[in-house]
Structure 1
Amino acid sequence: MTSTVTSLATFAAAQPFPLLTALVVLPAFGALLVAVLPRRRPESIRMTALLTTMATGAVAVYVLAAFDTADAGFQFVSRQSWISDFGISWALGVDGISLFLVVLTAVIFPIALLASSPGHDPKPYYAWILLLEAGSMGVFLALDLFMFFVFFEIVLVPMYFLIGSWGHGNRVYAAMKFFLYTMFGSAFMLVAILATVLLNAQGNGSAVTFDIVEIATNPAIAQNTARWLFLAFAIAFAVKVPIFPVHTWLPDAHTEAPTAGSVILAAVMLKLGTYGFIRFGLFLFPEAAVFFAPLFLTLGVAGIIYGAAVAAMQKDLKRLVAYSSVAHMGFIVLGIFALNAEGLEGGILQMVNHGISTGALFILVGWIYERRHTRQIAELRGLQKAAPVFAAVFTVVMLSSIGVPGLNGFVGEFLTLIGAFASARWWAVVAAAGVILAAIYLLWAYQRVFHGTPDEANADFRELRWTEGLVMVPLLGLIVFMGVYPKPVLERMEPAVDALVAHIEREVPDFTSTSGPEATEDVELSDVHGEDHAEEADHAEDGSADDEEVHE
């Protein structure tokens, strides 16, 4: 198996064809193709869109198979000068941090298409979804700040129209709120990008470049200025995640969006913000990330508790799942700003897990609405007796969202809590309470919807069809596989995460990341003996070096 992967990686590296460019261009070309097809053939339009997403998925799977697990840098890099006078390039690359977000995107889009239909006007519906996939891929792959901003903004337009044109009753309000919130954040990021590029070029006395690797490895921005720039980026990412208290657009958008829109929004689009924090916040502004980490740890934990508490009060099943996303994204933010390997790995893994589990939940809730034409929990009762297979599938997905051991949600939450405990133990304790709250509101909702005696309206609830079962099989398979055997995922992200943590430590001399048992021991020594912090840092560095030798 190892030799096969090695040969694949060697073969891929030797290919002149830009694989990552294909991940962006294929869905964009598919959107254009759908746009020119005649409206009178809706099945041809749907099949074209589906085949396009499947072809994109095949390329993503190949990239995954050929990915070199030992390489911490960017792989399959595609670079072409675009606007050379301003240092702007078409630059795409993938590393262990972005790899599984790319694969998640490639998996979710065809599943979202199979799980639902537009009901009307299929031509623009499928064109918008394909353009949304192209933009999402571009965000996860961009190595140029200008390209990142372009892709980051491209995804707004398709989702706005998906919610506004194919959503439910209050869809126009929800679409406008989503658009305005995100545009507000993006305005700050645009200013920050221009300032970062110009100030870095001025400080280095070099030509202007938007290349994130070059900017990160040759920083020349004053500390206080860098902190302001980090905050400007952070506003855009916080709105996109969304982080409490700028989350209020999310429940409305999820509730009013069509099923495919809700699935893509939860599984992919929310990750654009958390990925942005890692790739641009931590990588470009490590000192500012360390400085503001306590703030974002606090906001992450607040989101966990707030999201869980409000979810428990919801009467609409889809809105309950939407607020659960606020809590889950709080967990991811907690892992990211733990600023250690365990926390970051847990946060990235939880991004993927949330995409799988919550995406599956939105599909199932959408199917419930198609059958009963209501999402009110009080009107749904006893569905387990009418549709036991449907109930069983919902049970597995719900338990994965709770984080039950053996399913995918557990591993990400466990690593996140380990990382958080090492850097902010009391916030980790509070976050652990959020896990208990998640179990309470999800199990309570499940009991009210699926248990009890069904009334006349629910007695005829249709069982899961075999076509619907086929849609759920890959998601259920990933839920179980990543819960039982997460090693293939973790070993591919570890080198890139370790390199990022080392980058932060190198750029911020006073910062030493803590991890696992060593962190606990360091804190205890500091509490008991009150040793000088510089000496403790030296001991921690020596310990890290010893650990690396043992690992090798």
Structure 2
Amino acid sequence: MLDFLAAAIDPDIKHHLSVITFLPLVGALFLAFINRKRERELKATAFFFSLITFIASLPVLFDFNVGAGYDKRLMETAEWIPAFGIQYKMGVDGISLFLVMLTTFLAPIIMLSSSTTVHSKVKEYFIAMLVLETGLIGSFCALDLFLFYVFFELMLIPMYLLIGVWGSDESARRAAAIKFFVYTLVGSLLMFLAVLYIAGVAKTFDMERLPEACAQLPMTAQYLCFGAFMLSFAIKTPLFPFHTWLPHAHTEAPTGGSVALAGMMLKLGTYGMIRFAIPFFPVVAYEMAPLIMTLAVIGIIYGSMMCLAQDDLKRLIAYSSVAHMGFIVLGLFSFNFMATQGALLQNINHGLSTGLLFLCVGMLYERRHTRIFADFGGIAKVMPKFAVLFMIATLASIGLPGTNGFVGEFLILMGTFGGVPDGQWTWTLNSTMALLAATGVVLGAVYMLWAYQRVFFGEITVKENLALRDVNRTELAFSVPVVVMIFFIGLNPNFLLARSEPAVQATLQRTLAAVAEHRAAQAAAK
């Protein structure tokens, strides 16, 4: 065991990504052999393995070789099912690096916060969380399409259980879990059919070789396969109008489940778009971009308006995720370098700020067992430290300069306004998209500050609130690291942007080159 942990922290080992990916799964196996009555030991073991995984991922971040492709030093390749061209192939580039880091960073925070909020089936809960972490890290690192699909599906069961078993209301949580399962499964099955078709034609699942193979497919097949991939990732993101499962899932999930869902799992949707849908089918993605951008803008405005109509604090934050993820999709399908960089940065920002918001809601729910606005008011007087924590999360969510949320939204809006390099899309279309999306920024400030005012300001009218205790040391321990990252990224965004820039440039160049080649072929055919 000590040798395994030493290997995890050594930046020069050959199988570093595999160690990071499977350490949580090893932790889940350890938990399986611990008596369920020894809850303190179960919680400590889960936290230990998630923390070691985060520590093990740090050398990947600081030793990462910034470049247009995958860091060859970290790549791992081994034959898995050679008869079908399936490999065990892992790697990271500037696009996936920070999603891996976000996952390993949030996991120990979730474990620590759950130690005070999960009171039933503790053993099974932490096993599900650790399996979910392995599925997420594996999905972000997989460079074989079949391997990606295995990790992608691995997450479905633990998240279904987290919502359905540990949710708040018994009947509602089961309905929310089933809705999540059905939505995700339908999208996944369609993507699986597309994966089988592509691999059958290309004779490989290697993601580095598949873009070239997909370019040879008939255009009808490209449209169908793009639709299958895009639908799966649009559901996972979620993109309007495929978002209806999310508010129910967030509302009924336990605090740790909501943080994992918003902070880690939703990122797979937007990651899949820039990793698969766009590079595999660049011409189709480019031609469908105006429609997808329109759906993204509708999601921004719709999600924001729904936030204004909520009387449940957690449900408000759930709908805010629909708006925030709409910004990210808008940036990705602008095919503009600045907007794409902003989208990748905002992916990380949303995980941190919304994750902290859900943690804060969880702290409040543990004390009052309600999330309805009418049950609060004036609690800043009895919970001043908590009021500061929630204010920081609120300001990050609305994108106040100095916090992480500002830079991402600014880059997305400026890049979208600038449009694509070749000018096929008119300035009117791009400027309209950017201006409409900007209303989401204004609405975001309105609904978040209004929510804050209703909870924290005014007179205390509910007597139970007079006895509320402020945040304790454990709650500060899992909240302060997120606050630190909010300000670190807000004041030093180039730490992330510089590492993703070459990969983003390369992806956009390949996409626009494929579009130009397709147009040239069409012109020659005429």
What's the TM-score, normalizing by structure 2? 0.92
1:211 maps onto 2:230 in alignment = no
Identify the residue that residue 46 of structure 1 maps to in structure 2.
Answer: 43
How far has the Cα of 1:510 moved from its partner? 6.2
Paired position in structure 2 for 1:451 = 457
Residue in 2 that maps onto 1:172: 174
Of 12, 16, 20, 1:19 maps to: 16
2:232 match: 236
Q: State the shift of 1:216 in Å.
A: 1.4
Aligned mates of 1:442, 1:53 — CA distance in 2: 31
Query: What secondary structure does 2:120 align onto?
Result: coil
1:336-384 CA deviation, whole Å, 9 max, x = no partner? 1011211111111001000000000000001001111110001111011
Aligned 8 A contact 1:212 1:284 in 2 = no
Partner of 2:185: 183
% identity of equivalent residues? 47
Counterparts of 1:211 and 1:178 in 2: how far apart (Å)?
A: 30
Matched to 1:490, the amino acid is L
Amino acid at match of 2:418: A
Q: Deviations over 1:164-220 (max 9, x none)?
A: 111111111111110011001111100110111122x2xxxxxx1100111113432
In the TM superposition, what is the alpha-carbon distance from 1:465 to its structure 2 partner?
1.1
Partner AA of 2:55 in structure 1 = A
Please, which of 329, 340, 351 is the counterpart of residue 325 of structure 2? 329
1:479 paired to 2:486: yes
SS at match of 1:330: helix
- Residue 128 of structure 2 is aligned to residue 133 of structure 1: no
2:114 is the alignment partner of 1:107: no
Distance (whole Å) between structure 1 residues aligned to residue 318 and residue 15 of structure 2:
37
| Structure 2 equivalent of residue 526 of structure 1 | none
- Counterpart of 1:235, as a letter, is L
| 8 Å contact kept, 1:347–1:416 | yes
User: Which of these residues, 378, 382, 389, is aligned with residue 386 of structure 1?
Assistant: 382
Q: What is the CA–CA distance in structure 1 between the aligned matches of 2:218 and 2:414, rounded to whole Å?
A: 33
**Between 255-264 and 29-38, the greater mean CA deviation after superposition:** 29-38
1:432 corresponds to which residue? 438
Structure 1 equivalent of residue 32 of structure 2: 35
**Letter in structure 1 aligned against 2:19:** A
What amino acid does structure 1 have at the position aligned with 2:259? V
Cα distance in 2 for partners of 1:511, 1:209 equals 24
Give SS of 1:80's match: strand
Q: Distance in 1 between matches of 2:339 and 2:227?
A: 21
Q: Secondary structure at the match of 1:67?
A: coil
Is structure 2 residue 70 aligned with structure 1 residue 73?
Answer: yes
Give the C-alpha shift of residue 16 in structure 1: 4.5
Equivalent residues in 2 for 1:237-252, closer than 5 Å: 237-252=233-248
**Post-superposition shift, 1:464?**
1.3
CA distance in 2, matches of 1:371, 1:383: 12
1:342 corresponds to which residue? 338
* Structure 1 residues 140-186: Cα deviation after superposition (integer angstroms, max 9, x where no partner): 11111101111111101001111111111111111111001100111
- Superposed displacement of residue 56, structure 1: 0.8
C-alpha separation between the residues in 2 aligned to 1:128 and 1:470?
Answer: 23
Counting only pairs closer than 5 Å after superposition, residues 298-317 of structure 1 correspond to structure 2 as: 298-317=294-313
Q: Is the 8 A contact 2:211 2:279 kept in 1?
A: yes
Conserved 8 A contact 1:301-1:330: yes
Partner residue of 1:159? 159
Shift of 1:73: 3.1
Contact 1:505 1:511 in 2 (8 A): no
Gapped regions of structure 2 (runs ≥ 5) = 1-9, 420-429
- For these two proteins, the number of residue pairs brought into alignment is 494
1:217-228 aligned at under 5 Å gives the runs: 217-218=212-213, 219-228=215-224
**How far does residue 278 in structure 1 lie from its aligned partner after superposition?**
0.5
Q: Indicate the larger mover: 41-50 or 408-417.
A: 41-50
Deviation of residue 480 (structure 1)? 0.5
2:196 to 194, 197, 201: 194
Report SS of the residue matched to 1:120: coil
Give yes or no for contact 1:282–1:289 (8 Å, CA) kept in 2: yes
Structure 1, residues 504-525: CA drift from partner, whole Å, max 9, x if none?
122111699xxxxxxxxxxxxx
Q: Distance in 2 between matches of 1:494 and 1:244?
A: 28
Cα deviations by residue, 1:83-112 (Å, 9 ceiling, x for unpaired): 000000011110000000000000011101
Contact 2:64 2:71 in 1 (8 A): no
RMSD: 1.4
Q: What do the CA deviations read for 1:273-311 (whole angstroms, capped 9, x no partner)?
A: 110000001111111110111111001001000000001
- Farther-moved stretch of structure 1 (208-217 vs 122-131): 208-217
- Residues 263 and 363 of structure 1 are in contact (CA less than 8 Å); yes or no, is this contact kept in structure 2? yes
Deviations 1:253-279 (A, max 9, x none): 000000000000000000111100000
Q: Note if contact 1:223-1:287 (Cα within 8 Å) is conserved in structure 2.
A: no
Hey, what does 2:94 align to over in structure 1? 96
Code of the aligned partner of 2:80: W
Distance in 2 of aligned mates of 1:479 and 1:25 = 28
Q: Residue by residue, what CA displacement relative to the aligned partner does 1:425-452 show, whole Å, maximum 9, x if unpaired? A: 2101000010000000011111110000
Gaps of at least 5 residues in structure 1 are: 1-10, 202-207, 513-533, 535-552
Q: Secondary structure at the match of 1:82?
A: strand
Which of structure 1's runs of 4+ aligned residues deviate more than 4 A?
none
| CA distance in 2 between partners of 1:345 and 1:478 (Å) | 18
Map of 1:293 onto structure 2 = 289
* Cα separation, 2, equivalents of 1:322 and 1:261: 12
State the SS of the aligned residue for 2:348. helix
Q: Does 1:504 align with 2:506?
A: no
CA distance in 2, matches of 1:369, 1:511: 55
Deviates more, 1:444-453 or 1:113-122: 113-122
